[in-house]
Structure 1
Amino acid sequence: VREVPAAGRYGEAVAVAVARMRAGEFDKVVLARTLELTSAREPDLPAMLRRLARHDPAGYTFAVPSGPGRTLVGASPELLVSLRDGRLTANPLAGSAPRSTDLAEDVRRAVALLESEKDLHEHAVVVAAVREALAPFCTALEVPERPTLVRTAAMWHLSTTVTGEVSAPDTTALDLASALHPTPAVCGTPTELARRVIAESEPFDRGAYTGMVGWQNADGDGEWVVTIRCAEAEGRTLRLFAGAGVVAASTPEAETAETAAKFRTFLHAVGAAL
C-alpha cells in the first residue's frame, strides 16, 4: 500500500491552498490524493464490481476501459446530468462527512453537516456554478433553496437536485455534461485558477478521475456521472483516487480525514485497509 502523496504532504498542500484563499486569491479548490495497492495477483474486477454495487446500491457503478491494459472501476454517488425527453436533472454533491458505525454518532454527523457553515458555503458555490452553466440551455430551471442529505456506505453528502426543461430539441445529454464539466465539486472556483493550483499541488496525473462516464442514445438522451469513488486497475496494481473540497475554513486534518474516508468505499471492496 503506497500513498501518493503521503497524508502529511497532502495536509501541507491543503494548508498552502487555505492561506492563498484567505489572502483572496481564489474561493475553492479540490485537492486529491491516490492510494496504490499492489498484490501478488491481478484483482478480480468482476467480483470487485459486484461488491461495489452491493455496498452502495444507490450509486452509479461502472467499469470502462481507460487505456491499453487499464480499466476504470467505480461507484460514483454523483449524477452530473441526465436528459430524457427534454427534461434534465443534475445532482451536484459538495460538502461531506464520514459515516459512523454508531447510529447515534452517525445521526449527529448528518445533522452537523446540514448546519455546517463551511460545508453549506462549499455546496452553494457548486450549485451556483451548475445553475449558471445550465441556464442558457433551459426555458425553466428549478433549484431548491437548501440542500438535503444523501448517504453512501462511507459518507454523508450535501445534495441539491436541479431540474429543468431544455429549450432546443437538438440539445443532447453530452452537450449539457460538457457545459457543466468541470464543476467546482471536482475542480474549484474560479475554474482556470483552480486548475493551476491542482497542477501545482498534486504529484500525479488524474487521468479519468473527476471526468465523466455515462451513455447517450441516438436521440440525445443519456446519463453522465462524475468519475469519483473510483480506481484504475492495471496488472497487479490498483490505484484509488479521493479528493476533498478545500475552502478558506478548511483544515488540513479534516480534509485528509475526508479523503481517507472516501478511500474506504474501495478498500472495503478489495479487502484492504490504510
Structure 2
Amino acid sequence: MSPAVLVRPRPVHRAADLLSAYLPGSFYYSSAHGSILADGVHATVETRDGDRARAVSAALAAAARAGVDHPMVVGAIGFRPDGPASLVVPALVRRACAPTGDGPTGAAVAPAWTIAPRPQPSHYADAVRRALERIAGGELAKVVLGRCLDLLADAPVAVPALLARLVRADPTAHAFAVDVSAPGDPAPRTLVGASPELLVSRRGTEVVANPLAGSAPRVADEAENRRRRAALLASAKDRAEHAHVAAEVARVLGRFCRDLVVPAEPTVVGTPTMWHLSTRITGRIADPTDPGASSLAIAEALHPTPAVCGVPVDGARDAIAALEPFDRGYFTGLVGWTDARGDGEWVVTIRCAEVCDAAVRLFAGAGVVAGSDPDAELAETGAKFRTLLRALGAWER
C-alpha cells in the first residue's frame, strides 16, 4: 500500500488509562497532540551505519510486509553522531488524546536521597569561563554546557510514579519514557523526562518546529514573573542567542518546506519551572510521499540545533567534549516517533533523567555566549533541574 493512502489510526483509549498501563520497558510519549503507549518489540532498528532515517524507513516497510497494522518506529537517539540509539518497531501501539493532568500519580517515590553534582558547581562555573575565553578568541559564537546530578535512593525508583508526576505537573509538555538499557547495565535503564522543546512534528504536509533559547527561572510571585518575562524579551543577550537558533532552524526547514513562516519576534512561553524565548516556525512539505522528508529525516537534519550544541556545530561539539566531564549519551538528543506515512513528532531530550534501579542521573545545560555570567549560567542549570527534582521528591535536598 502506498504511504499516500495510509489511514492514520484514531485514538481509542483514555490518556489516563495509557499512563496507568505504562511499565518500564514500554515506550510512552505524550504531548498536546495526543498520547502513545507502545509495548513489545516486533523489530529492532539497526543504525550502525549512522543513516538512521533510511534504516527506519526500511524497518517500517519490512513491518508492513510482515502484516503489522500501521507500523511505527519509536525511541531515542543520542547527542553525538556516533552516540547511542534505541529505536524499535513495537508489537503493540495504543493511542489516546492529550493528557489533562488528572491521571494517576502512582506510589510515593523513595524519600531518602544522596546527591552528588558532576562537576562540582565551582568547576562548572570555571568551565563557563573557559568557554567564554574561546568565544572571546573567535573560536566559537556559542556553546551549550551541561552538568549532572547523580542521585542515589534508598530503594529502587518507581519509574511509572515518576512519569505520572511529570505528566501531572505539566500535561502540555512532551513527556516520555524510553527503555535505553545497554549491555552491562545492572538493571533496566529508562530515559524519562518532560521536554518543553519541539524539534519537529510532521502531519501530512504540515511541518512545525518550536526552538527555545534564552531562559529565566520561574518563581512563585506572579509580579516578579511578569518582570522576568519582560526582562527576557528585552534582553539583547538572550534575543541574540535565540536569533542564532531560530535562524538555523528556519534555514534547515527551508530545504524541506515551502510556504515557510518565521515570526519576526519571539514570544515567551512558560513551564512550571522556567520561562523561555520561543519561535514557532511552520511550513509545508512539497511531496509528503518523499521518504527523504519524513519527520525523522527532518529531525536528523535539524539536530543538533544551536539551542543544545552551539555555533559553529563542530567547534561547539569539540568544546563540549573538552569541558564536560561526562558523556551526554541521550541528553540533548531526540526522542519521539515516526510512522510509515513519514508523520511523527520528535522533541529535544532535555528536562530528563536516566533511571537504573535506585540510581538516577539528571541533566541540565545552559547556553554560553559573549556576555554570559558564569554564576548566572550555574543558577539557570539549577533551575532546570527542578523539573525532575520535584517529581522525584528530592527538591528539598
State the TM-score, normalized to the length of structure 1: 0.98
Looking at structure 2, the residues matched to 194 and 20 of structure 1 have their Cα atoms a distance apart, in angstroms, of: 10
Q: CA deviation at 1:54?
A: 1.2
Looking at structure 1, the residues matched to 272 and 150 of structure 2 have their Cα atoms a distance apart, in angstroms, of: 22
Paired AA for residue 212 in structure 1: L
Match of 1:148 in 2: 267
Q: CA deviation at 1:132?
A: 1.3
Q: CA deviation at 1:67?
A: 1.7
Q: How does 1:130-149 map to 2 (within 5 A)?
A: 130-149=249-268
Looking at structure 1, the residues matched to 229 and 380 of structure 2 have their Cα atoms a distance apart, in angstroms, of: 14
Match of 2:215 in 1: 96
Paired AA for residue 180 in structure 1: L
Q: How does 1:188-267 map to 2 (within 5 A)?
A: 188-267=310-389
Match of 2:97 in 1: none
Paired AA for residue 323 in structure 2: S
Match of 1:40 in 2: 154
Q: CA deviation at 1:133?
A: 1.1
Looking at structure 2, the residues matched to 83 and 34 of structure 1 have their Cα atoms a distance apart, in angstroms, of: 32
Q: For residues 155-213 of structure 1, give each alpha carbon's deviation from its aligned partner in whole angstroms, at most 9, with x where no partner exists.
A: 00000000001123212101110100000000001000000000000000001010101
Q: CA deviation at 1:153?
A: 0.4
Q: CA deviation at 1:218?
A: 1.1
**How many percent identity over aligned positions?**
57
Looking at structure 1, the residues matched to 152 and 145 of structure 2 have their Cα atoms a distance apart, in angstroms, of: 24
Paired AA for residue 357 in structure 2: G
Say whether the 8 Å CA contact 1:137–1:168 is kept in structure 2: no
Match of 1:158 in 2: 277
**Would you say 1:122 and 2:248 are equivalent positions?**
no
Q: For residues 31-76 of structure 1, give each alpha carbon's deviation from its aligned partner in whole angstroms, at most 9, with x where no partner exists.
A: 0000011011111111111110111121011000112421000000
Q: How does 1:25-36 map to 2 (within 5 A)?
A: 25-36=139-150
- Partner SS, residue 122 of structure 1: helix
Match of 1:62 in 2: 176
Match of 1:11 in 2: 125
Indicate the structure with greater helix content.
1
Looking at structure 2, the residues matched to 164 and 196 of structure 1 have their Cα atoms a distance apart, in angstroms, of: 32
Paired AA for residue 23 in structure 1: G
Looking at structure 2, the residues matched to 221 and 239 of structure 1 have their Cα atoms a distance apart, in angstroms, of: 32
Looking at structure 1, the residues matched to 189 and 264 of structure 2 have their Cα atoms a distance apart, in angstroms, of: 41
**Would you say 1:80 and 2:194 are equivalent positions?**
no
Match of 1:51 in 2: 165
Structure 1 runs of 4+ aligned residues shifted over 4 Å read: none
Q: For residues 103-143 of structure 1, give each alpha carbon's deviation from its aligned partner in whole angstroms, at most 9, with x where no partner exists.
A: 11111111100111110000000011101111111122110
State the TM-score, normalized to the length of structure 2: 0.68
- Structure with higher RCO (Cα < 8 A, 6+ apart): 1
Q: CA deviation at 1:23?
A: 2.1
Looking at structure 1, the residues matched to 346 and 170 of structure 2 have their Cα atoms a distance apart, in angstroms, of: 18
Paired AA for residue 208 in structure 2: T
Match of 1:109 in 2: 228
Say whether the 8 Å CA contact 1:114–1:158 is kept in structure 2: yes
Say whether the 8 Å CA contact 1:19–1:248 is kept in structure 2: no
Aligned counterpart for 1:174 among listed residues 273, 276, 296:
296
